[in-house]
Amino acid sequence: MAVYFDNAATTIPSEGAVAAFNKGLLLYGNPSSPHSAGAEARRALEAARKSLALQVGCKSEELYFTASGTEANNSAVYGLWELRKRYGKRVLLTDSEHPSVKEPCRRLEKDGAELVYVPTPGGKLDMDFIKEALKTPTALICVMLANNETGAVYDIKAVRDAITKSGSRALFHCDAVQGFMKAEGYKQLLRNADTAAFSAHKIHGVRGIGALMLRSNLHPPAFILGGGQEKGIRSGTENLAGAMAFAAAAEEYGKAQTEKVKALREHIENRLRALPDVDLNLPEKHLSGILSISLRGIKSETALNCLSAEGIYISASSACSSGQAENSVLAAYGLDKSARESALRIGISPMNTVEEADALIDALVRARARYGRI
Ligand code: PLP
């Protein structure tokens, strides 16, 4: 039986999500069709939207379904830039944003944007830097809710306060893909954002469905043009089954799940602390479900391969950066080269058990004893 601790990369769909998905598949009508099969599909889609909006803490009409968190991030970055580029050319983003925010921002440079990266040493926003940067007219600021590699939870409210205090007209996008349902007080925090991105497969939904929260006072140009679905913001026939599974997964992810992850995290941390030469890369505020460690003496890839051979799955950092030679997020956090080279990310979910956690730690100990070089 596989032991899966790569839950920051993706999660196993829950039974509830799969049941909702299957139900959605049978609602074969196109939600835009005027006949009754279409109406039935439309009702189910709007019920999923309403339920999800409740979990996000926004109005139903502020939530748009997309095909992924990546798409939601791209559309927010491009859309908000269009709304404010005449006000200021500056785009602020943290140095540890996900590529689905970083890359669209980089493309804006072709349109005259000046990118300014906010440092996040130790997983903490440099607020003095933000306050100083906002003195220059700024179109857009992107700060994620929780980091996918270190689990750091950033102070979204402080960002909003800084924007307000500076009198800046900057719009604020928050990538909430990892923090949604998991970061303490996430609903309150998200009230501070103008747009936010979500993804179902990080919370035991299915892949291929995400959502964009867009405040109703904002009217950016559409990112995907076509038949005018999702009030013209995001054309394309909606993924009804995916949306229903997303809503079901979010409904299931409550206090019990959060508490279970917290307890498992504590257990794993306690066991790791008893081992020599293990650094826990712990931001002051972090998600319980993401634990970054540096297992000194063994390269990340070697440890991963050893574990994988035993059917135990974790990751070196993020699934997205695994092909890259250098990890910029861990460098931004402040890890030295050797700590980065031995970094591992443990992604914990409520589906994991204490027995699995013990199997993981035992396997890490064995891997280092067998292949460790230092
Ligand atoms: N943002 C963050 C912080 C993520 O961790 C991910 C996925 O790894 C994404 C965005 C992209 O989401 P999706 O896989 O739905 O495109």
User: From the CB of 97, is ligand 1 less than 6 Å away?
Assistant: no
Ligand 1 atom closest to residue 100's alpha carbon, by position in its atom list: 10
* Whether 306 is catalytic: no
pLDDT for residue 191 is more than 60 = yes
User: From the CB of 287, is ligand 1 less than 6 Å away?
Assistant: no
* Predicted pLDDT at 318: 57
From its phi and psi, is residue 297 left (phi > 0), alpha (psi between -120 and 50) or beta?
Answer: left
pTM of the complete model: 0.97
* Predicted pLDDT at 65: 98
Please tell me the class of the 3-12+254-371 domain.
alpha beta
Ligand 1 centroid from CA 361, angstroms: 27
Ligand 1 centroid from CA 82, angstroms: 23
User: From the CB of 148, is ligand 1 less than 6 Å away?
Assistant: yes
Burial class (CB in 10 A: 0-12, 13-18, 19+), 369: exposed
User: From the CB of 199, is ligand 1 less than 6 Å away?
Assistant: yes
Which pair of structure tokens corresponds to residue 203? 């919370």
User: From the CB of 149, is ligand 1 less than 6 Å away?
Assistant: no
- Report the C-alpha gap between 118 and 9 in whole angstroms: 24
Give the pairing of strands 195-199 and 278-281: unpaired
pLDDT for residue 254 is more than 50 = yes
Ligand 1 centroid from CA 365, angstroms: 30
Sequence-separated (6 or more) residues with CB below 8 Å from residue 212 = 63, 64, 66, 71, 72, 75, 76, 195, 196, 197, 198, 233, 234
Q: What is the pLDDT of residues 4-29, one digit of tens each?
A: 999 999 999 999 999 999 999 999 99
Domain edges within the chain: 3-12+254-371, 15-252
pLDDT tier, 372 (very low <50, low <70, confident <90, very high otherwise): confident
pLDDT for residue 324 is more than 80 = no
User: Best of 177, 286, 320 to mutate for ligand 1, by most ligand atoms within 8 A of CB?
Assistant: 177
Q: What is the pLDDT of residues 268-298, one digit of tens each?
A: 999 999 999 999 999 999 999 999 999 999 9
- Report the C-alpha gap between 367 and 176 in whole angstroms: 34
Q: What is the pLDDT of residues 47-94, one digit of tens each?
A: 999 999 999 999 999 999 999 999 999 999 999 999 999 999 999 999
User: Best of 100, 105, 181 to mutate for ligand 1, by most ligand atoms within 8 A of CB?
Assistant: 100
Average pLDDT over residues 353-367: 97
* Predicted pLDDT at 322: 52
pLDDT for residue 122 is more than 70 = yes
User: From the CB of 98, is ligand 1 less than 6 Å away?
Assistant: yes
pLDDT tier, 319 (very low <50, low <70, confident <90, very high otherwise): low
User: From the CB of 66, is ligand 1 less than 6 Å away?
Assistant: no
* Predicted pLDDT at 371: 85
CATH of domain 15-252: 3.40.640.10
User: From the CB of 70, is ligand 1 less than 6 Å away?
Assistant: yes
Ligand 1 centroid from CA 319, angstroms: 10
Of 115, 3, 64, residue with least CA distance to 360: 3
Mean pLDDT, all residues of the chain: 96
| 3-12+254-371 and 15-252 have identical folds | no
pLDDT tier, 327 (very low <50, low <70, confident <90, very high otherwise): confident
Ligand 1 atom closest to residue 319's alpha carbon, by position in its atom list: 8
H, E, C per residue of 234-269 = ECCCCCHHHHHHHHHHHHHCCHHHHHHHHHHHHHHH
Which pair of structure tokens corresponds to residue 297? 């003496």
Percent of the chain scored above 70 by pLDDT? 97
Ligand 1 centroid from CA 72, angstroms: 10
Ligand 1 atom closest to residue 70's alpha carbon, by position in its atom list: 16
H, E, C per residue of the chain = CCEECECCCCCCCCHHHHHHHHHHHHCCCCCCCCCHHHHHHHHHHHHHHHHHHHHHCCCHHHEEEECCHHHHHHHHHHHHHHHHCCCCCEEEEECCCCHHHHHHHHHHHHHCCEEEEECCHHHCCCHHHHHHHCCCCEEEEECCCECCCCCEECCHHHHHHHHHHHCCCCEEEEECCCCCCCCCCHHHHHCCCCEEEEEHHHCCCCCCCEEEEECCCCCCCCCECCCCCHHHCECCCCCHHHHHHHHHHHHHCCHHHHHHHHHHHHHHHHHHHCCCCEEEECCCCECCCEEEEEECCCCHHHHHHHHHHCCEECECCCCCCCCCCCCHHHHHHCCCHHHHHCEEEEECCCCCCHHHHHHHHHHHHHHHHHHCCC
